[in-house]
């Protein structure tokens, strides 16, 4: 009998332990660990001080837009045998003086079965044979054309031709002096080649056409309209007016808004959220922009994850459904920023790096199911050959504008968008998901979903009262006594002043009589 009681007691204890183990909360990750293609970038230098400076960064942003996981490292740091862990290899040559590769890399490259994209002057003999390449150094001036884009009078360091008839050619380099035409890029099977790529030029966009086929990405690219630099202290009435005008013009748009981590019960925050809710009702989509990183970030002792989650939950509480994050690309190469700030989102818009400040830098990126490549409007308009022929770029692209600071600037911006031939897509039409420990936010075929419930997006303008007690008053001892005491002192001082003025008048008259005598 005792044995049965003992056995029952042990079974109950085991069940209790199991229930406690499975009840431990697990941090929520919005972006599920999906299998993404892996690409290795090997470069001989970053080209600092040359025209090639920044091309590795631009290449990483392009690859992120095709939803691949990227590892980037200098070729002299290559570890023998690691190449086989990647499905694709991009070799970038920025140095004019030829450097010998590590022997381990040469041996691995000979047996490598994955795809290879080479950017530079001297491709390997194996790649040259597979593509039928004939590369020549040529400091000439040419016009580069690809898709609806043209860049006039660029300096071309290298030219090539391909003898492979079945190879696919990309773009055209038309030489000014001779009128001869050469391709910008070529692809045959798993191998591809382009002679050069420079950041913030048309060659950056031209490379995207090559990458799309090389990566075998079959999704259709779209344009999205994104407004940045929106803060709680921005002109919110101007933001509402812009939302009205774009809604009436039938132009869907995205606002990338800076988060607020403290004082979220203040009227300024309430006005901020009410404005975002109104923007959402005018067919606008809200993204959370990464917080500004100070140069003293290493010295800070605070939880970004908790702060970001708090801001997202504050938005959700008022019916505002953010669908992604806007941030500079270097965030996706930092372990701290990824785990603390980006883990809630499965969709991002990656901006060019302005001032990278890493906390836990790594050479491997985090890939996202949805990642928009971003360009500012001036960059795109600079190369359009015809404003009426604006076909989508090979990948989903965000055309970004800084939010207007005054009405005249807003008028010019909105008028330009209304007259543009670009067709902007609604970000909500694609699948996006944001998860915190409390809320699940998503989009479903154009609708916003909060915790499984589809939300109506209509909202009216809501005024927020400016009457607010910013600091609660504590209970004060002897407050009544000191108030009465102050009033008594005021009366005494007032009477003293009257008496003093009386004595002053009497003295004045006595002195005047003495003077007459």
Is the pLDDT score of 195 beyond 80?
A: yes
pLDDT value for 127:
92
Using the 3D structure, point to which of 455, 490, 508 is the last residue of a domain: 455
**145 within domain boundaries:** no
Same domain, 201 and 249: no
At 517, list the tokens: 């005598």
CA angle 421, 144, 374 (to 5 degrees): 50
Q: What is the pLDDT of residues 345-404, one digit of tens each?
A: 999 999 999 989 999 999 999 999 999 999 998 888 888 866 666 788 999 999 999 999
Lowest mean pLDDT among 89-103, 194-208, 213-227, 371-385: 89-103
Using the 3D structure, point to which of 455, 470, 503 is the last residue of a domain: 455
Is the pLDDT score of 309 beyond 70?
A: yes
Q: Is the pTM of this model over 0.85?
A: no
Q: How many of the other CB atoms lie within 10 Å of CB of 509?
A: 9
Same domain, 196 and 289: no
Residues ≥6 apart with Cβ < 8 Å to 301: none
Same domain, 381 and 322: yes
φ and ψ at residue 160, rounded to 5 degrees? -150, 165
- Cα–Cα nearest to 216, from 376, 49, 39, 438: 39
Same domain, 210 and 70: yes
pLDDT value for 457:
61
Question: 78 by DSSP, 3-state: which?
Answer: coil
Is the pLDDT score of 12 beyond 50?
A: no
Give the full edge-to-edge strand order of the sheet including 453-455. Answer: 432-435, 440-444, 447-450, 453-455
Is the pLDDT score of 139 beyond 90?
A: no
**273 within domain boundaries:** yes
Binning pLDDT at 50, 70 and 90, where does residue 34 land? low
- Cα–Cα nearest to 122, from 149, 78, 160: 160
Same domain, 99 and 244: no
Total residue count of the chain as it appears in this document: 517
Binning pLDDT at 50, 70 and 90, where does residue 78 land? very high
**283 within domain boundaries:** yes
- Cα–Cα nearest to 398, from 329, 334, 450, 447: 329
At 5, list the tokens: 């009681």
Same domain, 275 and 384: yes
Q: How many of the other CB atoms lie within 10 Å of CB of 43?
A: 23
pLDDT value for 138:
78
Question: 199 by DSSP, 3-state: which?
Answer: coil
Structural domain that includes position 59: 38-134+187-214
pLDDT value for 96:
76
β-pairing, 223-230 vs 191-194, is unpaired
Is the pLDDT score of 310 beyond 90?
A: yes
> Is 283 in contact with 457 (CB distance < 8 Å)?
yes
Is the pLDDT score of 466 beyond 80?
A: no
DSSP summary character for residue 338: I
CA 135 and chain centroid, separation: 38
pLDDT value for 479:
63
Question: What is the helix (H) or strand (E) element at residue 229, kind and residue range?
Answer: strand 223-230
Same domain, 209 and 260: no
Question: 27 by DSSP, 3-state: which?
Answer: coil
What is the chain's Cα-based Rg? 33
Domain tally, the chain: 2
Greatest mean pLDDT range, 33-47, 118-132, 183-197, 489-503: 183-197
**175 within domain boundaries:** no
> Is 69 in contact with 37 (CB distance < 8 Å)?
yes
Binning pLDDT at 50, 70 and 90, where does residue 506 land? confident
CATH of the domain at 97: 3.40.50.360
- Separation CA 264–CA 262 (nearest Å): 5
Binning pLDDT at 50, 70 and 90, where does residue 30 land? very low
**281 within domain boundaries:** yes
Is the pLDDT score of 301 beyond 70?
A: no
At 362, list the tokens: 């790594």
**332 within domain boundaries:** yes
**291 within domain boundaries:** yes
Binning pLDDT at 50, 70 and 90, where does residue 26 land? very low
Is the pLDDT score of 257 beyond 80?
A: yes
Query: Is 59 exposed, middle or buried (CB count within 10 Å of its CB: 0-12, 13-18, 19+)?
Result: buried
- Cα–Cα nearest to 230, from 292, 313, 310: 292
Same domain, 405 and 352: yes
Query: What mean pLDDT, rounded, does the chain reach?
Result: 85
- Cα–Cα nearest to 219, from 68, 383, 72: 68
Same domain, 210 and 240: no
Same domain, 443 and 350: yes
Is the pLDDT score of 473 beyond 60?
A: no
Lowest mean pLDDT among 142-151, 216-225, 384-393, 462-471: 462-471
Q: How many of the other CB atoms lie within 10 Å of CB of 108?
A: 18
Binning pLDDT at 50, 70 and 90, where does residue 192 land? very high
Same domain, 270 and 361: yes
Using the 3D structure, point to which of 159, 179, 214 is the last residue of a domain: 214
Same domain, 201 and 278: no
Is the pLDDT score of 6 beyond 80?
A: no
Residue 297 vs residue 139, higher pLDDT: 139
To the nearest 10°, report the CA torsion of 413, 419, 421, 426.
60
pLDDT value for 428:
95
- Separation CA 492–CA 473 (nearest Å): 30
φ and ψ at residue 46, rounded to 5 degrees? -90, 0
At 126, list the tokens: 């194996």
pLDDT (average), residues 454-464: 58
**Which residues on adjacent β-strands are paired with residue 185?**
170
pLDDT value for 509:
77
Q: How many of the other CB atoms lie within 10 Å of CB of 5?
A: 9
CATH of the domain at 407: 3.20.20
pLDDT value for 489:
82
Is the pLDDT score of 258 beyond 90?
A: yes
- Separation CA 213–CA 394 (nearest Å): 9
């Amino acid at each position: 009998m005792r044995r049965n009681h003992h056995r029952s007691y042990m079974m109950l204890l085991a069940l209790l332990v199991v229930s406690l183990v499975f009840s431990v909360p697990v941090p929520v990750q919005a972006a599920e660990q999906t299998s993404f293609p892996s690409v290795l970038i090997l470069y001989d230098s970053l080209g600092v001080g040359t025209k090639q400076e920044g091309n590795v960064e631009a290449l990483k942003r392009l690859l992120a837009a095709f939803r691949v996981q990227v590892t980037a490292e200098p070729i002299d740091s290559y570890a023998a045998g690691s190449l086989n862990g990647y499905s694709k290899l991009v070799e970038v040559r920025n140095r004019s003086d030829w450097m010998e590769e590590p022997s381990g890399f040469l041996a691995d490259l000979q047996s490598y079965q994955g795809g290879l994209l080479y950017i530079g002057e001297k491709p390997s003999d194996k790649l040259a044979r597979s593509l039928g390449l004939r590369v020549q150094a040529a400091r000439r001036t040419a016009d580069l054309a690809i898709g609806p884009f043209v860049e006039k009078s660029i300096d071309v360091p290298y030219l090539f031709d391909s003898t492979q008839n079945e190879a696919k050619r990309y773009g055209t380099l038309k030489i000014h002096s001779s009128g001869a035409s050469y391709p910008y890029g070529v692809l045959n099977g798993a191998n591809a080649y382009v002679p050069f790529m420079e950041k913030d030029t048309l060659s950056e966009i031209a490379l995207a056409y090559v990458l799309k086929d090389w990566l075998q990405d079959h999704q259709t690219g779209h344009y999205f309209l994104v407004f940045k630099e929106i803060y709680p202290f921005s002109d919110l009435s101007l933001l509402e007016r812009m939302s009205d005008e774009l809604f009436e013009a039938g132009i869907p748009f995205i606002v990338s808004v800076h988060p607020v981590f403290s004082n979220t019960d203040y009227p300024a925050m309430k006005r901020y959220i009410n404005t975002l809710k109104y923007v959402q009702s005018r067919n606008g989509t809200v993204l959370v922009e990464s917080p500004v990183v100070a140069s003293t970030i290493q010295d800070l002792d605070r939880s970004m994850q908790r702060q970001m989650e708090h801001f997202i939950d504050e938005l959700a509480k008022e019916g505002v459904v953010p669908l992604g994050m806007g941030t500079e690309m270097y965030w996706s190469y930092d372990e701290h920023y990824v785990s603390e700030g980006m883990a809630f989102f499965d969709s991002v818009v990656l901006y060019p790096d302005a001032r990278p400040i890493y906390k836990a830098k790594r050479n491997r990126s985090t890939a996202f199911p949805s990642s928009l490549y971003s360009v500012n409007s001036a960059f795109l308009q600079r190369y359009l050959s015809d404003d009426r022929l604006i076909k989508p770029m090979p990948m989903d692209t965000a055309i970004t504008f800084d939010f207007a600071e005054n009405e005249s600037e807003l008028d010019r911006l909105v008028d330009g968008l209304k007259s543009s031939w670009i067709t902007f897509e609604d970000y909500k039409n694609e699948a996006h998901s944001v998860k915190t420990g409390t809320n699940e936010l998503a989009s479903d075929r154009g609708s916003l979903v909060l915790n499984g419930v589809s939300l109506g997006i209509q909202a009216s303008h809501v005024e927020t009262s400016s009457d607010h007690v910013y600091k609660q008053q504590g209970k004060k001892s002897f407050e009544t006594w000191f108030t009465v005491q102050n009033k008594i002192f005021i009366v005494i001082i007032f009477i003293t002043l009257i008496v003093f003025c009386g004595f002053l008048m009497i003295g004045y008259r006595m002195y005047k009589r003495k003077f007459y005598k």
